[in-house]
Structures are given as C-alpha cells and as structure tokens.
Amino acid sequence: MQIRFACLLILLTSAAQAQADGLYPAAAIPEAMRRNAYAVIRLHETTFTVKSAGEAVKKVHYVVTILNERGKGQAKMNVFYDKLHRVENVQGALYDEFGRQTSRLKKPDIHDVGLEDAGTFVGDNRAKMAEFACTQYPYTVEFAYEVTTYNLIFYPVWQPQIDDEVSVEKASFAVLMPAGMDLRYKELNVPAKAVVTTIASGKQYTWGVSNLHTFQWEKHSPSDHGQIPVVYTAPTDVEVQGYKGDMRTWAGIGKFYHVLNDNRDLLPENVKQKVRQLVAGETDIAGKTKRIYEYLQANTRYVGIQLGIGGWQTFTAAEVADKGYGDCKALSNYTMAMLKVVGIDSYCALVKAGEDEPDVMADFPNSYFNHETLCVPTPKDTIWLECTSQTNAFGYQGSFTGNRHALLITPTGGKLVETTRYKASDNVRNRRISVAMDETGNAKATVTSLYTGEQQEDLEQIMHQLNMEDQKKALYKRINIPSFEINQFSLAQKKDRIPSVTETLALTVRQCASKSGTRLFVVPNLINATPPLPPKAENRKTEFMLYSSYQTADTVVYQLPKGYGVEFLPDDVRMESKFGTYAASVRASEGQISYTRHLTVNKGRYPASAYNEWVDFSKKIAKADKSQIVLVNKGL
C-alpha cells in the first residue's frame, strides 16, 4: 500500500507540475518559426501499419498552435470514412497560451456527418468532425485518431507542410510493412531520405522533418508540390473485398480495374435493338459514335455513386439503361456497351481530372485518378468522350481531362496514354469591335467575339448554367472597360470537335477617350485589360508554369468624331520569345482608325532561370497595350 501510495503521489505531482508549466506554451516557439505564420505545427506523427494486402491501420497524432484568426481553420479535425474505413479512438484537447489544458474533446463534441449531395451524389462517405472554438490567441489544439482501412488501393501521401504560412517544428511519417510485402515510394523535396529498418514483423520506413519555416510561394509555381516536401507511397499487392491486384506497374493497375469491372457491359436485347436503330444508315465510325454519344446525353444524367467498392466498381450497363443515371464509371461503361453492340471497340480510361491539375507521375505507377472517361480509337484518330456531360461537344476534352495522361483499362492490362493535346491554334479568341465616338469621348461599340477550345469554356458554362439575367451579370464581370453598359447581348454555341461560342455585345462606353482641350486621348486596346504583372525574382528557386496555349486577335475600328483628325499614332510593336509572340499596329484612314493586336502564348514548364525573362516579356506587352492615340479637333 505504501508503494502504491508513493507511485500515485509521484504521478499526481508530475501531472500538477505539467499543468502548471504547460505542455505546449506558445512562448516556446522560436521567433523564426512564428514569422509570417498563422499557425505552427508543433508535432505531427503519422504511422501507417500494413497488416496484409487487404488491411492497414493509420494512426495520426498532431498538435497545432493557432497564432491568429487566419489560423482558426487549423482548430478543426475532419476524418473521412466509408464502409471500407473504420474510425476509432478519436481524442482531442485545447490548451491556452501557456500550454495549460483547458478542455478535452467529449463524445458529444464529435459530429458524425454524411457527405451526400442530394440529387447528384449517392454514397456512404461520412466524416468525424470536431472543432475547438477559442478567440484568445494564441492557443493550441491536439487531436489523435485511428483509421482501419480495408481498401489499400490508395496508400498515404505525406505532406508535412500544409501551407506556405504554416511552419512545422517536428513531423514524422512511418510505414510498417509485413514480411513478404514491399513498399513503393517516391520522395520529392525531402531533406533526408527514408530510413529503412528491419523489425520483427517485416520492415519499417521512416521519414522526418523539423524546423520548416514559412516561405514565400513563388508566383506561377507548378501545382505538383514544387516547394514542399512530399512522400508518395504505393502498394505492390492489394485485395479489396476478394478482388486481388498487382499494383507495381501501369499494366497491373489497369488489369485490377478490368477484373473489378469485367462483364458489367451487358445490355438487354431491347436496348441493343434501340442502339442499332440509332446508327442505321451511318457507315463511319465517328458518325456512329456521335449518334450514340448524343443519345447518351439526351437520356441520362450524372449521379455520383460511392457505395463501398462501388467507388471503383461500376453499375452494370443494364442498370444504367433502366435507371437513366450513373456516375462517371457507369456512364462510360454504358457508352462502351452501346458502342460494342455496333462493333466499335472502346476503352474506359482513368484520369486525374480538373483544370490545372498536375499530371500523373509516369515513372511512379499509382492510383492518382479521380475520374473515368471513354476512349474510342479509330483508324483516323482517337475520340475521347466525356460521358458525364449533357452539354459537352462530341469528342471535346478541354481543360478538364485534356493535356495529360490517362490509363486505358484493357483486358490485357493498363496502358498509359496521352489525352488530347490542345495547341494555341485550338484555343483562340478572335474579336472585332466597331466604335463610334462623339466629341466628348463617349462611344457606342458593337463587339463580336469568337471563342474556341479552352477559350470558350467559361462562356459555355454561362450559357448552359445561368438564366439570361445572370448571364448578363456574368458578362459584366468579364468585360474590362472602366465604365460601360451592356445594351444587348447574345451567345451562340457551335459543337464541333473544337467547340466555339460567338458572343455579340452592344455597349455604351463612357469616357472611351479622355478629353483635354481640343484633344482626345484614346487607348485603342479597348477591352484587353493588362493582368497584374508578376514581380521579378532575383533568386527564384522553382520552375514556373504557363498552363494554357492560346491565341488572341483583335481588330478595333474607330469612327472619329466630326472635325477630328490624327495628331499622333504609336509605332508598330513586334515581339517574339520562347513564351509566345505579340504584335500591335495602328493605321489611320479618312475618318477612322484601325487597331490590330495579335498575341500567342505557349503553354509550358519553364526553368526558374527564365522567370525574369517572362516578366520582361509581360511588361513589354503591358506597355504596348497602354499606348495612346492623340486626336485633335482641326476645326478649331
């Protein structure tokens, strides 16, 4: 009893001392770690223990000090799960400025919420959510939880620094693999390589970082973690609900998804008859494919289906035919099934979709993908079908799935291929403007603009997603004129393989020219406002990206006010660089002035050493775009 009492006394004394001193006092954070930070990660530990090809446990424990209001989002915990993931042992605590615990997370504080979006999403995705509300800065939060997963298609991605304004005192990542199973991994920007040790159960791979300061995110940096330490991990063998796969190669990954979805493209006879009738009289593969695609668009709608293994295994084609809806997998599979009926081969393809999303790492096979589309190889070219869209032009991928790699799912395995690469000549904006000015500098303008490819995507969404009133509001935001009114507008779409939208505007432009005495000063580049110019960087560290290739051409014809003539015209400008080309010129004739401007921008990933060259190119364009014409009233 005396020994037990002595031990208890020691524990109570230690706890009291820790409470008095504080576990995580904010004052203990070095000033260098606070600089430009809204939060400091004091400690972040992740352990991923693989028990077999079909089960693993991830344990996470982290402590974050919130320095100001901008960091309050870091006081939240969100743990996502579904039928293939089980969340346990959720814990949390709140500490004051001195590191003294002021409250603990209780069971009623942990909210279990569904993540379904009524009408467009059906799934079992849920989240455990908790948050500490505190307005006395700085304060510290601590969270811990465990997730048991029965879906090892995806191994963790470790990114210890979540933002350029969050510093990290200490973070670690460990992966424990059982005997006979290897870990595949790829390290980017890590200060130290993995430490691999032999343990009783197999092997342990460990990474660690410390004292990561905030940094200045460099403008136009690539979105694939160009400045942040990242470790990608990936499986060799997986098993999900009885389906097994070898994930070492792209061929193996594709084979796994093929087995998962094999024999799910069968259609009932009445649907087959309908499909044959659809293509009657059509002999060309592209023509047949287009008819079937347009039938799909008119008779189905997108609904996300994420139920258990359904996140990766499709509805059957017969179910989609019956219900009239499906997710990207189901609609692509259904279209593939209809094409199969008329003898056209096609393949579902996994892709990482989204504008400006980084491409997959071709040298590191892994499950990067978030979307499925359909590929139709033909003797002439390859047709890609976006089966989730009811408005997409036939064969057009655009910025959503174009300009990247996709993984074809074939019976013999996966094949990494390129999707459509859109050139500058595909992404065009041609504009012609007629301007009638009066002697006060006000004007009436008629604007006709043709947008193609990626240049028309915003307008295409405006056309199909907004009513007329909201379309007009959206157009006001797109037009870069200081003071104007839209008197009339129209939008017309043409659904070619490279789709286009024609925009027609009738505008009233106030102060189209600045009046000073007998002179009018006109900037002939009426609508193209110069975007914010990037600053120069003397010691840039990362590459930079120009995400889209495109061309623009403008012709602006000014009808001069009565009695006015030209006093000054700017010189012609022509520039060429690796980033693109620019040309502008002004010509005067009796009673009018014509301004032409051409710009081509080349998409690319450029070295850090070329960044200032691009800044100079941009500044020269901005200067040329602001050139002025001087008109004078010759009748006075």
Cβ atoms of 173 and 208 closer than 8 Å? yes
The amino acid at 292: I
Cα distance between residue 315 and residue 56, in whole Å = 27
451 phi, psi to nearest 5 deg: -110, 135
Cα distance between residue 586 and residue 65, in whole Å = 59
DSSP 8-class letter at 216: -
pLDDT confidence of residue 133? 86
- Could you tell me which residues are beta bridge partners of residue 237? 246
Contacts of 19 (CB under 8 A, 6+ apart): 100, 101
Low-confidence ranges of the chain (pLDDT < 70): 1-21, 116-123, 224-225, 305-311, 636
The amino acid at 598: H
Cβ atoms of 265 and 337 closer than 8 Å? yes
Contacts of 461 (CB under 8 A, 6+ apart): none
Contacts of 237 (CB under 8 A, 6+ apart): 53, 181, 244, 245, 246, 247
Taking each continuous run of H as one helix and of E as one strand, the counts in the chain are 11, 39
Q: Can you read off the two tokens belonging to residue 447?
A: 């604007």
How far does Cα 335 stand from its chain's mean position?
A: 26
Sign of the Cα pseudo-torsion (221, 222, 226, 229, in order):
positive
Smallest CA-to-CA distance from 449 within 553, 523, 585 is with 553
- Could you tell me which residues are beta bridge partners of residue 546? 604
What pTM was estimated for this model as a whole?
Answer: 0.89
Q: Can you read off the two tokens belonging to residue 1?
A: 């009893």
pLDDT confidence of residue 216? 85
What H or E segment, with its residue span, contains residue 433?
Answer: strand 428-437
- Please tell me whether the peptide bond between 138 and the residue prior to it is cis, using omega within 30 degrees of 0: yes
pLDDT confidence of residue 19? 46
How far does Cα 524 stand from its chain's mean position?
A: 36
Cα distance between residue 332 and residue 265, in whole Å = 10
